[in-house]
Amino acid sequence: MPAILFIPGFAASFEVWELQVKEFSKDFQIIMPGQDMGLFDDVFIVGWSMGAFEAVRLYFKNKEKIKGLVLVSATPKFIKDTDYQFGISKAILKSLEKKIRHDFDEGIQYFYSLMFNGGEIHPIVKNLPMPNMEKTFSQLEELKNADIRDLSAQIEAPTLIIHGSEDKICKPESAKYMNKIIKNSKIEMFDEIAHVPFLENTDRFNSCLKGFISGQRKN
């Protein structure tokens, strides 16, 4: 039986994948946080947002096990730079960090609202356990410098890129960029969707993921 590893993004926990775990556990082994990936065969890694950084790194540590990668609302570099125009400005990240440091609970809820472009926060996100403060600040530091462009260009596994056309956190252009540099990749752009396509349009997301996995298992 193939296995799926779901990786959450910044300030989120594994519980954010509640609907996908419920759906896919019928036919797949779900790799839980902390489990040794070496215990599984035919692994598919699904990394969302900041979790895409970890997904790519895990791929290179376990290439013989990985049948496919799914990068959701991902960017290879979070901060805009002279040689990368598809990130957010340092000022935006600094403002977010200031809000989180000033009032941790309110700052996290503010970030959650950004995921949905200021609209209603999905109940699953609203009810996530409060993230660990130390880990959150560590993640903020990582976001300032994270850059997996070179690694991404070396990916050989079949890769599905899923992104929302209205994503303000990781811009849609970043998905198109990754689609361009990852040779064996395809992109699914979800119209009128922000940063959390697996919650904003769960049916389509699950269908895309099932179709991708099914296609790789036939190969």
Distance of CA 124 to the CA centre of its chain: 16
For 154, residues 6+ apart whose C-beta sits below 8 A from its C-beta are 60
79 touches 38 (CB < 8 A)? no
Predicted TM-score of the model (pTM): 0.96
For 2, residues 6+ apart whose C-beta sits below 8 A from its C-beta are 28, 29, 41, 42, 43, 44, 67, 213, 217
Q: How many angstroms separate the CA atoms of 185 and 120, rounded?
A: 32
CATH classification code of 3-81+142-218 = 3.40.50.1820
Q: What is the pLDDT of residues 165-207, one digit of tens each?
A: 999 999 999 999 999 999 999 999 999 999 999 999 999 999 9
- Domain edges within the chain: 3-81+142-218
What integer pLDDT is reported at residue 122 of this predicted model?
98
Task: Give me the average pLDDT of each 10-residue run along the chain (219 residues).
Answer: 95 98 96 90 96 96 94 98 95 96 97 96 97 97 96 97 98 98 97 98 97 80
What integer pLDDT is reported at residue 217 of this predicted model?
64
Q: What is the dihedral of CA 136, 16, 150, 156, to 10 degrees?
A: 150
What integer pLDDT is reported at residue 219 of this predicted model?
59
Report in angstroms the alpha-carbon separations of 85 from 77, 97, 173, 195.
10, 21, 9, 19
What integer pLDDT is reported at residue 191 of this predicted model?
98
Report in angstroms the alpha-carbon separations of 59 from 45, 123, 162, 180.
8, 31, 18, 19
For 124, residues 6+ apart whose C-beta sits below 8 A from its C-beta are 15, 16, 18, 19, 199
What integer pLDDT is reported at residue 172 of this predicted model?
98
77 touches 87 (CB < 8 A)? yes
Phi, psi of 106 (to 5 degrees): -65, -35
